Amino acid sequence: MKLKRTLSLLLSLALMLGLLSGCGSGTNPTTEPDESPKQLSAREQGEPRPDDEYERAIWYGFLPEDLAEADPENTVLTWSQYCNMLGSAIKLHDEGEYSAWQKMTKAAPNTEMKRDGAMVSLLFAAKTMGLASFNANSPAEFNDYAPKVWDVVTMDYPVFNWNTPIDLGDGCSDNNHVGPAYDFCLRRVSFESNKSLLEFDEAGDLRLEQPLTLREAALSVVRLYESELSSDFNDAAYVTASEVEAVYAAADQRRDAILNSPTTIVKADEYIMGESYSGTAYYVSNRGSDRNNGLSPETPFATMAPFDNIQLNYGDAVFFERGSIWRATDLHWKISETAGMTISAYGEGPKPAFYGSEENGTGGEKWELFYSDDTGKKIWKFYREMTEVASIVLNESEFVLRDVAYWDGESYLQLDDRHEALTGEDYDITQHLPDMWCFPALDYPDMKTENLGDALFRAWDENGKEVFYTGSLFFRCDAGNPGEIYENIEFIMPHAFCDGMADDQTYDNLCVLYSSITSCSGFHDGYGAQNGVVQNCEFGWKGGHVFSYATGEETGDTRIQLNAGLFGRNSGAFAINSSHYTVRNNYIHDAFQEGIALETFIGRESMQDCVVSGNLIERTTQGILLCNWDMEVNPDHIFKNTVVEDNLVLDSGVNNFFSTDWEDDYCNAVVIQGGPCANENLVIRNNTFAFATGALVQIDQFSKEYSRVFEGNTYIQYAAESDVIGARGVGINYSMYNHLTPESIATFLGDETGIAKLQE
């Protein structure tokens, strides 16, 4: 290898110079010789940084001189050699940390090291470097292998005080370092290679009982060193108060422009999506009647029911009067099944609204006091039975969280605080419901949980008609009768805006709120609708109903899944599942999962020619999601010619009204998720991503080839919040790098023209 030859030549040259110097200087032979000149690493000599991890170990100077020419596959390391390698990485990380490591490992023996010794050594080295924390979720093999750890570890680690308590956080603590070291070596990963410090083999074996080879040692040291940003990126720029105000002022301006956008669609000879219609126009208004002909603003229909008996054609349009509201089961949408339809607004005032909420819950007469005690606790019961309620929205801004419990087919059982495991107790509303939380106690029929279908709130009758389970709705409000306290009370419920979109449709100037079912392009016979425009709309307060219960087959642990729902029972505010879509100038807010998703599935063709532009996305869990579920690159199934530009994505995860584990893991401004997400002419440019409670950018299976699609974006993040750039590998989810600078986004996102700042 070139690097090895370079090291050997330098070593020979240094020895020759030393001999010549000693022979000609007249030095007293009894005098202590000077230290040998410092051996320069290839990195210090300015040689190019290799792509190969093992070559980088040599380039960094982590390999001792006596191992530079050794066979990496068959050379077994000693404790002394491995501790020296870790010491080189520690010294390069921060020279001030090196003396502590030297003192700790000075007695490292020249005996063979096994992989479990390396596992423990890596944790102690990380503690010395200040890196003893997780930046990853565990890989898929983690839980299966965990019981085997204690059968194969030696419990013999001669240079470390390992038999002492340690707490790494994130649920990992023990009275000794062995278990946490196992967690750490799999949940600390290199950003460069996207791999854990130690790896399972193809059989799912970590081989902790086997000797540590030179290659394995070198890779583990490199990965530990590369699991943190270089100090070159620590000098972040900070955003000023006026710059923050300018971001929110821009959001206010865009929100007002979208909410007050006029209808510009006109009649023309040719149907052009988003611009014109060419066929018959129909009108619908709360002031209308289904006995009218619906052919003019003066004779509108009142509901969508008349369209059951109308032959709609390509190029037709249906206009809904501004200021009107249609609710829940009134959303009878045969018009969504017609290709080439335009659905828009007419008149003056607020956009025509479509609510998943069955009714407004304001009014003291709608709530009766169900329970109270001398502590001031007050639980109220709604006057009629309701189906699944994901949350309650108060005064169009505040929210009531939905408590969850496990239905076992006969009664509700209490779940733990993370909504994962049964506690063994019955769920008692009077004891378990927190203040300002609600609970819909659905009256399920007498059947087992696994037969409830894919959504717990519904079933189908003998005619195939969807039937919703109902039950009492409870709301704990210690302040008093909610119907008297709040001027507006809406329920987020699983009523869809429509059953799916057809090809070549335009959705313009509509307001879709309070539905736990996602608005998206949908499926018809397994294929998403092609071609469409969604513009000037508002989508808000979306998602979060209890979707299914899943019981682990081996452990018996019970997990509850919260879903944001809609066509295909997906999740989030708005999702596209096919090609040739334009989603522009929409206001999207308060959604359980993504604000806008471009999601393509295994076995489907490539998603191409999509544009997502000019949208304002606020307080969603994920702002913008691009997801490809292929686990390996499929050139026939990628993102093509897709642009995400000029969007404002703010406060992702802030005030997340579903309060679940999603808050911690997925509150990101933009996410590239799923498999390797190969792309051809995919670009994410000139957007503003700001103030997420998670990472601003989260990337599954990070690769420089496929992930560098960012251009000219503005990134602003809380310095003391969580992460700025995240990445995820197969079975691994890690978020890291709370250093945000132009250098870091250029290095990791390829965004050389982006603006990056932190907010203190």
Q: Where are the beta strands (DSSP E) in 585-687?
A: 587-600, 607-608, 611-613, 616-628, 639-645, 648-650, 668-674, 679-685
Q: For residues 672 and 740, state if they share a domain.
A: yes
Q: Classify 641 in phi/psi space as left (phi over 0), alpha (psi -120 to 50) or beta.
A: left
Residues 338 and 368 in one domain: no
For range 33-57, the mean pLDDT: 76
Residue 108 to residue 110: CA distance in whole angstroms: 7
Task: Determine contact, residues 715/745, Cβ cutoff 8 Å.
Answer: yes
How many residues are listed for the chain in this entry? Answer: 760
Kindly tell me if the per-residue pLDDT of 554 is higher than 60. no
Taking alpha carbons only, the member of 749, 618, 604 closest to residue 258 is 618
> Does the pLDDT at position 737 exceed 60?
no
E-strand ranges in 456-610 read 458-460, 466-468, 471-476, 489-492, 505-508, 511-515, 519-520, 523-524, 527-528, 532-535, 538-542, 545-551, 558-563, 574-576, 581-584, 587-600, 607-608
Split into its structural domains, the chain has a count of 4
Residues 701/703/709/713 CA torsion (nearest 10 deg):
80
* Domain that residue 138 falls in: 2-7+38-228
Is residue 451 situated within a structural domain? Answer: yes
Per-residue DSSP letters for 173-191? EESSSHHHHHHHHHH-B-T
pLDDT of residue 31: 37
DSSP per-residue string spanning 413-472: EEE-TTS-SEEEEEP-HHHHPPTTEEEEEE---SS-GGGS-SSTTEEE-TTS-EEE--EE
Exposed / middle / buried, residue 622 (Cβ in 10 Å: 0-12, 13-18, 19+): buried
What's the sign of the alpha-carbon dihedral 195, 198, 199, 200?
Answer: negative
Sequential DSSP letters for 102-138: HHHHTT--SSBPBHHHHHHHHHHHHHHHT--S--SPP
At residue 445 the predicted structure's pLDDT band, cuts being 50, 70 and 90, is confident
Higher-confidence position of 464 and 295 = 295
Residues 6+ apart with CB under 8 A from 415: 404, 405, 406, 421, 422, 423, 558, 560
How far apart (Å, rounded) are the C-alpha atoms in residues 616 and 690?
Answer: 12
Burial 335-354 (b: 16+ CB within 10 A, else e): bbbbbbbbbbbbbeeebbbb
With bands split at pLDDT 50, 70 and 90, how would you rate the model's confidence at 14? very low
Q: Check whether residue 293 and residue 213 sit in a common domain.
A: no
Cα 477 to the center of its chain, rounded Å: 32
What angle, 0 to 180 degrees and rounded to 10, lies between the N-to-C axes of helices 53-60 and 214-225? 70
Average pLDDT of span 692-696 = 81
Rounded average pLDDT over 37-64: 85
Q: Which of 20-34, 46-60, 588-602 has the lowest mean pLDDT?
A: 20-34
Question: For the chain, what is the total number of helices (H) and then of strands (E)?
Answer: 14, 47
Stretch 87-110: mean pLDDT: 95
Domain boundary among 349, 381, 397: 349
Higher pLDDT, 196 or 501: 196
| Residues 481 and 522 occupy one common structural domain | no
Q: Are residues 386 and 479 in the same domain?
A: yes
Q: pLDDT value at position 538?
A: 96
Q: Is residue 187 part of a domain?
A: yes
CA distance 121 to 185: 10
- Collapsing DSSP to helix, strand or coil, 301 comes out as strand
Tell me if 718 sits within 8 A of 669, measured CB to CB: no
> pLDDT by residue (tens digit) across 253-303?
999 999 999 999 999 999 999 999 999 999 999 999 999 999 999 999 999
CATH number at residue 272: 3.30.1910
With respect to residue 252, please indicate whether it lies within any of the assigned structural domains: no
Assess whether 522 and 548 both reside in one domain.
Answer: yes
Are 730 and 673 in contact by the 8 Å Cβ rule? The answer is no
Please report, to the nearest 10 degrees, the dihedral formed by the alpha carbons of residues 686, 620, 354, 565 taken in order: 120
- Examine the pLDDT at 732 and tell me if it is beyond 80: no
Question: What distance in Å separates the CA atoms of residue 335 and residue 590, rounded to the nearest whole number?
Answer: 27
Asked if residue 734 has pLDDT above 60, the reply is no
Question: pLDDT digit string (tens) for 608-644?
Answer: 999 999 999 999 988 999 888 776 777 888 889 999 9
Residue carrying the six token digits 């050699």: 81
Per-residue pLDDT tens over the stretch 408-427: 777 888 877 666 667 778 99
From the centroid of its chain, how far is CA 626?
11
353-379 pLDDT, tens per residue?
999 999 999 999 999 999 999 999 999
Same domain, 551 and 682: yes
pLDDT at 170: 72
Any bridge partners for residue 173, and if so which?
A: 167
Q: Within a 10 A sphere around the Cβ of 484, how many other Cβ atoms?
A: 14
State the first-to-last Cα distance of the chain, in angstroms, to the nearest integer.
48
Looking at residue 551, its pLDDT comes to 53
> For residue 228, what are the CA distances in angstroms to 130, 233, 547?
10, 10, 38
Q: Are residues 322 and 449 in the same domain?
A: no
The conformation of residue 744, written as its DSSP 8-state character, comes to H
Which stretch of 247-261, 427-441, 481-495, 571-585 has the lowest confidence by average pLDDT? 571-585
What pLDDT shows up at residue 359? 95
Q: What angle do CA 339, 343, 346 make, to 5 degrees?
A: 155
What is this structure's pTM? Answer: 0.79
314 φ/ψ angles, rounded to the nearest 5 degrees? -55, 130
Task: Calculate mean pLDDT across residues 137-141.
Answer: 77
71-85, 161-175, 257-271, 406-420: which has the minimum mean pLDDT?
406-420
Res. 15 pLDDT band, cuts 50 70 90: very low
The verdict on residue 497 lying in a domain is no
Alpha-carbon separation of residue 454 from 329, 419, 570, 632 (angstroms): 20, 19, 12, 28
Residue 754 to residue 68: CA distance in whole angstroms:
41
DSSP SS3 for 590: strand
- What are the structure tokens assigned to 368, written together? 């009766």
In angstroms, the CA 482 to CA 142 distance is 47
Residues 370 and 303 both lie in one domain: no
598 vs 568, residue with greater confidence: 598
Q: Is residue 356 part of a domain?
A: no
Contact 222, 62 (CB under 8 A): yes
Whether 622 is in a domain gets the answer yes
pLDDT top residue among 633 and 439: 439
Domain match, 178 and 272 both: no
Domain contains 473: yes
- Within-domain flag for 500: no
Same domain, 520 and 475: no
Residues 286, 217 share a domain? no
Mean pLDDT of 140-169: 91
**Dist. CA 255–CA 351, nearest whole Å:** 13
